Amino acid sequence: MSDSPITALEHQFPCDTCGSDLRYNPEKGQLKCDHCGAEQIIFELGKPQGQSIKEQDFHKAVKNQLPDLDMEELRTVSCENCGAHVEFSPNTHAAECPFCATPVVTDTGIDRQIKPKALLPFGLSERGARKNMTDWLGKLWFAPNGLQEYARKGRKLQGIYVPYWTYDADTKTRYTGERGVVYYVTQRVNVMVDGKSQTQTRQVPKVRWTAAQGRVARFFDDILVLGSKSLPKKYTDALAPWDLSEMEPYKPEYLAGFRAETYTVQLEDGYKEARAYMNRMITRDVKFDIGGDQQRIHNLDTDVGALTFKHILLPVWMAAYKYRGKTYRFVVNGRTGKTQGERPYSAWKITFAVILGALAAVVIGYIAAQSQ
């Protein structure tokens, strides 16, 4: 289980018609009142849609030099079961942890963070996400029967906006290395054939190395790094790809009826992961530039210019399933429906499959022996 802090905030907007809470409707892309059915278009509530999403200066951010308008203070609470730090609205005093379904009681704790700049609105309804999850669960081998029963009960999924960092960088790299060209030489070797020694010729590969140096350049756009430790990274990574070209400037109206988790991976730590990705791509570019059949790289000197970032939110539907005292979590891409998650295994189903496989092997062996 995670021992990292998590925050999740729920935004509320009153209906102009009846005063009940409006919720963002992923199917229509606008706010809708669950009580009276009234609808409200989001871009009429504030700035028009399609406005540019501005990048932020990385170096200013790490020096705490961002404007106060780009920062916010949040109140968090710790989940005793999974260690998550969850933020709720100020009038909430008790709730369920959205990451492990454990009841939590709020406590005051202030955290100052960078505001999100953009988000991908939910495009898949809870009903559609539940169908994707149920279909995925139905395809799992050796899953306990209780897992299928859980899916049939239709327990609602929770819609959560998960925090990510994106990084942009303009890089120029100088390199030194060697280009290897493969050639072949003929060698005579002694081999044993039918117990007798014979002399044969073989073509043996050799590599001719020559010095190489040069420059490569690459602009990196929106390198995506998960900003949370609450969910297993291998599952959230597997939800990709995300259609980041469809992002909208951050507006809290998109969060109506959902929760938004705040980041726990700091900006500088996220950049380390982004830089590792950049280095892998630059190494590939250098090898391509060196050419030949093989390459050796002796030195890379990379200048990273115009380094910028964005704090963004991506939509995830999530459910938690408890089996024999352990929590298993499932996540669904809130745009594409792609599903990933943890899963238990049924010991008796595995044992039965092993026994069945052994019996099948015995039968096949018996038939083969009889046929001979």
What pLDDT does 135 receive?
80
Q: What is the mean pLDDT of residues 233-255?
A: 91
Q: What is the pLDDT of residues 248-283, one digit of tens each?
A: 999 989 999 888 888 889 999 999 999 999 999 999
Percent of the chain having pLDDT more than 90?
42
What ranges do the domains of the chain cover? 12-178+211-341, 179-210
User: 75: which 2 tokens?
Assistant: 């109140």
Report the residue count for the chain. 372
Using the Cα atoms of residue 348, residue 350, residue 356 and residue 358 in order, give the sign of their dihedral: negative
Residue 14 has pLDDT above 70, yes or no: yes
Question: Mean pLDDT for the chain?
Answer: 82
What pLDDT does 194 receive?
82
What pLDDT does 280 receive?
97
Q: What is the mean pLDDT of residues 204-228?
A: 96
The band of 221, judged by pLDDT with boundaries at 50, 70 and 90, is very high
What pLDDT does 259 receive?
83
Q: What is the mean pLDDT of residues 227-244?
A: 89
Over the range 170-196, which residues count as b (16 or more CB within 10 Å of their CB) and which as e?
ebebebbbbbbeeeeeeeeeeeeeeee
Residue 285 has pLDDT above 50, yes or no: yes
CB 183 within 8 A of CB 206: yes
Which has more confidence, 363 or 257? 257
User: 295: which 2 tokens?
Assistant: 């390459």
The band of 243, judged by pLDDT with boundaries at 50, 70 and 90, is very high
What phi and psi, each to the nearest 5 degrees, are found at residue 215? Answer: -135, 145
Q: What is the mean pLDDT of residues 116-132?
A: 92
Candidates 170, 136, 161, 190; CA nearest to 330 is: 136
Which has more confidence, 48 or 303? 303
Provide the whole-model pTM.
0.81
Lowest average pLDDT, out of 14-28, 221-235, 321-335, goes to: 321-335
CB 233 within 8 A of CB 181: no
Residue 118 has pLDDT above 90, yes or no: yes
List residues bridging with 40 in a β-sheet.
31
